[in-house]
Amino acid sequence: MALIVHKYGGTSMGSTERIRLVAKRVAKWARAGHQMVVVPSAMSGETNRLLGLAKELSPQHEDSAHQRELDMLASTGEQASSALLAIALQAEGIEAVSYAGWQVPIRTNNAFTKARIESIDDQRVRQDLQAGRVVIITGFQGVDEDNNITTLGRGGSDTSAVAVAAALKAHECLIFTDVDGVYTSDPRVVPEARRLKTVSFEEMLEMASLGSKVLQIRSVEFAGKYKVPLRVLSSFTEWDIDIDEEAQSGTLITFEEDEQMEQAIVSGIAFNRDEAKISVISVPDKPGIAYQILGAVAQANIEVDMIIQNISKDGKTDFSFTVHRNDYSRAMDLLKAKVLPALGNPDVSGDTKICKVSIVGIGMRSHVGVASKMFRSLSEEGINIQMISTSEIKTSVVIDEKYMELAVRALHKAFDLEQNQA
């Protein structure tokens, strides 16, 4: 008997029929003698629907104007699905109780719409588990110290589940979703993508941060910090599949490098269409310029991802960086109003039709020529690279958005990802 956390995403909870199947699956685990905690997402589309209603009422306001209320609103999606799952479990003859974040409580900071979990009180949950109840805890939400409801950012139920698993020292956290594991690339874009039986924590962290939305990045960070055994698997198998077989299915996130038998040089290709590029043209090449531009951007709480500065010509240089597309207009307005006048009003140009494509693999540490193979493969497809950034285990490039699928597929092939066995 073990304490197990299951998380079910939006598609898995997408209708009453799907919720019934989730209940049957959870009941199977409970009947096998496990102590079960389940963290559901809102039914698919519900969070978007709710946020869309807010936009209808306040189209002229940036989301930031109503952040507290947006959390109050969006959190209801998870509250509804959690209660429905408890009802479905009770209908299966399983004792179950659902809790909103504040009832546990899951304490967060007060950064509405992107709050961070600070602590989880396990007392109430443990009492229920000891009494033989299945405990359902709303994903995506928590409560700040002033008892305001907060949410954890899109995809945040993954983080709720891993944090709950860490707080309860669960034997394993199983993330049930609409794919049967972590693939070499998003199978929706690369049909030849192959499921990985294991992926190292470091690679998963990179892949999540570079755009593979199969796990929210903070959930991977939590798993790493608290060494939570984490597995991604499908909720679309038959619910009564053998439990031991199910427990071994999907993709296991591993913490030991040597657990990976045959280490591929590149394990995965990630991509991200959420960024936009801003270039300031012909700024004086002298100390303090990067700070003048990016300092103002950072002060406005806009995160910058990639940065490049060209070598200078006649004492002038071009300076480019990327921001999230949602922050693009704000960053442009800020530059034009506050930063560029002090630099002699240099030209500024922007491009929202870019994407970032990245290769990820811990094998890159010990192999040379991996990045150049990436560049060759893109050049063979006639794809121009606009920006490059590298770290020990990844290389990312910014390219024109229209070549994204071509680039991802070409790289997948170039690194033999469809052929190797995991």
139 binds ligand ASP, rule: CB under 6 A: yes
Closest CB to ligand ADP among residues 183, 321 = 183
Among 92, 172, 178, 351, binds ligand ADP (CB under 6 A): 178
Classify residue 274 by burial, with Cβ atoms within 10 Å: 0-12, 13-18, 19+. middle
CB neighbourhood size of 278 (10 A): 22
DSSP β-bridge partners for residue 371? none
* Span between the terminal Cα atoms of the chain, in Å: 30
Going by DSSP bridges, is the β-strand pair 134-137/96-99 parallel, antiparallel, or unpaired? parallel
Q: Is 198 helix (H, G, I), strand (E, B) or coil?
A: strand
142 binds ligand ASP, rule: CB under 6 A: no
Closest CB to ligand ADP among residues 25, 133 = 25
In whole angstroms, what is the distance from residue 193 CA to residue 261 CA? 20
Going residue by residue from 41 to 60, which x/- string records binding to ligand ADP, judged by CB under 6 A? x-------------------
Closest CB to ligand ADP among residues 11, 75 = 11
Contact present, 37 and 5 (Cβ < 8 Å): yes
Torsion of CA 414, 417, 419, 420, to 10 degrees: 120
Contact present, 346 and 281 (Cβ < 8 Å): yes
77 binds ligand ASP, rule: CB under 6 A: yes
Residue 42, binding choice from ligand ADP, ligand ASP, Mg ion, none, Cβ under 5 to 8 Å by partner class:
ligand ASP
Contact present, 342 and 295 (Cβ < 8 Å): no
Least distance (Å) between residue 384 CB and Mg ion: 32
274 binds ligand ADP, rule: CB under 6 A: no
186 binds ligand ADP, rule: CB under 6 A: yes
Least distance (Å) between residue 154 CB and ligand ADP: 9
Count of residues near ligand ASP by CB under 6 A? 13
Helix runs in 67-195, H state only: 67-91, 123-130, 157-167
For ligand ASP, the binding residues in 148-167 under the rule CB under 6 A are 154-158
Beta carbons within 8 Å of 422's beta carbon, 6+ residues apart = 194, 195, 196, 197, 198
Among 183, 201, 319, 328, binds ligand ADP (CB under 6 A): 183
Contact present, 211 and 275 (Cβ < 8 Å): no
Closest CB to ligand ADP among residues 35, 47 = 47
Phi, psi of 147 (to 5 degrees): 65, 25
Q: Is 40 helix (H, G, I), strand (E, B) or coil?
A: strand
396 binds ligand ASP, rule: CB under 6 A: no
155 binds Mg ion, rule: CB under 5 A: yes
212 binds ligand ASP, rule: CB under 6 A: no
In whole angstroms, what is the distance from residue 181 CA to residue 70 CA? 31
Going residue by residue from 331 to 370, which x/- string records binding to ligand ADP, judged by CB under 6 A? ----------------------------------------
Closest CB to ligand ADP among residues 110, 263 = 263
214 binds ligand ADP, rule: CB under 6 A: yes
**Residue 224 is encoded by which pair of tokens?**
């790493």
Cα angle vertex 35, ends 250, 101, to 5°? 85
Among 10, 181, 346, 361, binds ligand ASP (CB under 6 A): 10
Going residue by residue from 375 to 404, which x/- string records binding to ligand ADP, judged by CB under 6 A? ------------------------------
Q: Where does this chain touch ligand ADP (CB under 6 A) — which range of 3-11, 241-249, 295-303, 351-359?
A: 3-11
Going by DSSP bridges, is the β-strand pair 3-8/35-40 parallel, antiparallel, or unpaired? parallel
Footprint of ligand ADP (CB under 6 A): 9-12, 41, 155, 177-179, 182-183, 185-188, 212-214, 268
Binding site for Mg ion (CB under 5 A): 9, 155
